[in-house]
Amino acid sequence: MSERQAENPPVQRTTQGRKRRPEHGGEETVPVVEAATNAEQESPPATTPDDAPDGRGRETVEGVIGLAGVGVVGAALAGLRGGSGGSGGSGGSGGGAMAATVDAVAMQPLPPLGAGNSVSAIPDLPVKPPTTSTTTPTALVEETTATVPDAHRPGIVEPKIEPEVGPTIDPPIQIDTTPPARPTLALKRDTGADANDGITSDSTITVSGLEQDAIWRYSLDGKTWRAGSGAELETTLFDGVQVVRVIQTDKAGNDSGTASLRFTLDTDAPKLSLKNDTGRSRVDGITKDGTLVVDGLHDGANWMYSLDEGQSWTPGVGREIAAVELGKDGNKTVLVKQMTSATTESGVSTFSFMLDTYVATPELRLKKVDKLEDQGPGRDPLPVTDTPTIVIDNYEDGSTIEGHVDSQPISAMTAAEVPLELRPSVYTDPRIHSIDFWRQTDVAGNVSASTGAWTIAVVATTLSSRPAADAGDVL
């Protein structure tokens, strides 16, 4: 062993895997050869080519790549970079000071694997101690570059190539603006004496002539429409004349015309009527007397009536429903039915009318007041006007107004404003006229109380001696 070797014993070489981050993420391990440097001891002087036992000079090792295969195990040194033939020190510092240098590793042929050979038979590769420049760098490592296919890199997802899809072509839109035909309506059973007389005790109606996929709706009053289903209409109808209307709508949204069926339903239900129709026409269903008469009762039959559209029923007594049972004024609808046997009910009949039992006393005022004249203590001011028109503030629509002007009756008026046709005054003051005992009678026959006597002054021109009063004042 030379003196130089004794002073600087060889440093044990270790070859281990270094981890580095691949280009596309994740980590992989590649074999590297590290140049171990004892940072605490001085580096020996650089060797010359003569110092090398094999006479090849110093060589730089960049990396070792391990290769493995079935039946073959081998190793090769790659990336050998020749050192400068001149001074080792100048070559290390000027030709790449950041590279770790080691003496060349002698390449020896490896025996092939076969009979009698194994991996353990591979000879050890001699490694000579490193020689470095006089300037001791920190431990530097050069990694070998190993190419790893992208398909095996962790975290790399190969893009999926979708087949090209051509544009979707929708079928042409069919426009249908033709309305369907009117449905056909008929009684399912016409139970009258004549099979075609339109009188029946069965209110079931057949609906035919419907288009495929069409929907239909029906109305019993021409105002409210309900959805129908199937090919029949079964609904609760009251005895009497009925008009049923049906419209169908095709799948394009077109409505047909309205089909209608008129018939008389008779289910042996009792019939109701007003005992006194006090309205102006006597058959208008407006009355101040709500007493109802029940007709069509079987002898000794029990009967019932309802005032809440059939939600509750009250047993009837005799052959009338007293007015007091109907409650306060307003529109009324009463249902009635009877027991045709011990276990069988008749159909239901219905009756509607207007109950009106009150009308207010008229409130009169002049449409225009020019001024109010003082008539002395204890007397109301005298309204003066050149427009003798009376306004009735609480006039009830349809009511008739009656009264007197200057003790003479006026013609009946049906309006909220009454222009006065004045005769010459009978008073000493020719401007004075009296308005006496006005009342109104409403359409139900109710007569109001009468107003009292009331005087006004009517002039040909407006008097301006006093400010005009508010025309809204009630006199």
Same structural domain, 254 and 312 = no
Neighbours of 203 (CB within 10 A): 21
191-237: pLDDT as tens digits: 888 888 899 988 999 999 999 999 999 999 999 999 999 999 988 78
Is 450 part of any domain? yes
Q: Which residue has the higher pLDDT, 197 or 95?
A: 197
Q: Strand pairing partners for 304?
A: 315, 337
Q: Which of 265, 282, 312 is the last residue of a domain?
A: 265
Span of 146-155, 238-247, 397-406 with lowest mean pLDDT: 146-155
Rounded CA-CA distance 380/377 in Å is 8
Same domain, 144 and 209: no
Residues in the chain: 475
**pLDDT class of 426 with cuts at 50, 70, 90:** confident
CA–CA dist 319, 342 (Å, integer): 20
346 and 295 inside one domain: yes
Domain assignment present for 166: no
Same domain, yes or no: 147 and 50: yes
pLDDT bin (cut points 50, 70, 90) of residue 55 is very low
Q: Is residue 473 one of the residues assigned to a domain?
A: no
Residue 227: per-residue pLDDT: 95
Q: Are residues 339 and 385 in the same domain?
A: no
The answer to whether residues 348 and 388 belong to one domain is no
Tokens of residue 405, six digits: 């002007």
Q: Do 349 and 385 belong together in one domain?
A: no
The predicted structure's pLDDT at residue 229: 93
The domain boundary residue, chosen from 143, 159, 175: 159
Write the secondary structure of 64-95 as one string of H (helix), E (strand) and C (coil): EEEEEECCEEEEEEECCEECCCCCHHHHHHHC
Whether residue 261 is found in the same domain as residue 276: no
Q: What is the DSSP letter of 319?
A: T
CA 251/CA 273 separation, integer angstroms: 46
CA angle 125, 126, 128 (to 5 degrees): 140
- pLDDT of residue 119 exceeding 70, the answer is no
> Residues 237-279: pLDDT tens digits?
888 899 999 999 999 999 999 999 999 998 889 999 999 999 9
- Cα torsion at 281, 285, 291, 297 (round to 10°)? 110
Which CATH number do you get for residue 243? Answer: 2.60.40.10
On whether residue 177 sits in a domain, the answer given is: no
Render pLDDT for 442-464 as a digit per residue (tens, 0 to 9): 999 999 999 988 899 999 753 33
Determine the structural domain holding residue 450 and report its residue range. Answer: 364-458
Say if 471 falls within a structural domain: no
Residue 400 has pLDDT above 60, yes or no: yes
CATH number at residue 275: 2.60.40
Residues 247 and 120 placed together within one structural domain of the fold = no
Please state the φ and ψ torsions of residue 49, each to the nearest 5 degrees.
-60, -30
Domain boundary among the residues 243, 265, 287 is at 265
**Mean pLDDT computed over 94-106:** 43
Outline where 30-115 has alpha helix (H). Answer: 88-94
Residues 201 and 294 in one domain: no
The pTM assigned to this predicted structure is 0.51
pLDDT of 325 higher than 70:
yes
Q: How confident is the model at residue 87 (pLDDT cuts 50, 70, 90)?
A: very low
Please give the pLDDT value at position 167.
75
Residue type, 140: L
175 domain residue, yes or no: no
Q: Which two tokens stand for residue 251?
A: 């799948």
* 398 occurs within a structural domain: yes
Count of the separate structural domains present in the chain: 4
pLDDT at 324 over 80: yes
Residues 6+ apart with CB under 8 A from 115: none
Q: Are residues 319 and 260 in the same domain?
A: no
State how far the Cα of 196 lies from the Cα of 123, in Å rounded to an integer: 122
Same domain, 370 and 317: no
- Residue 122 pLDDT > 60, yes or no? no
- Give the three-state DSSP class for 73: strand
CB atoms under 10 Å from CB of 227, counted, come to 8
Token couple for 214: 């069409």
The residue with greater pLDDT, 242 or 3, is 242
The tokens for 434 are: 């009296």
Residue 475 lies in a domain: no
CA-to-CA dists, residue 300 to 303, 317, 319, angstroms: 9, 11, 11
pLDDT at 303 over 80: yes
Read off the pLDDT of residues 272-298 as tens digits, 9 standing for 90 and up.
Answer: 999 999 998 888 899 999 999 999 998
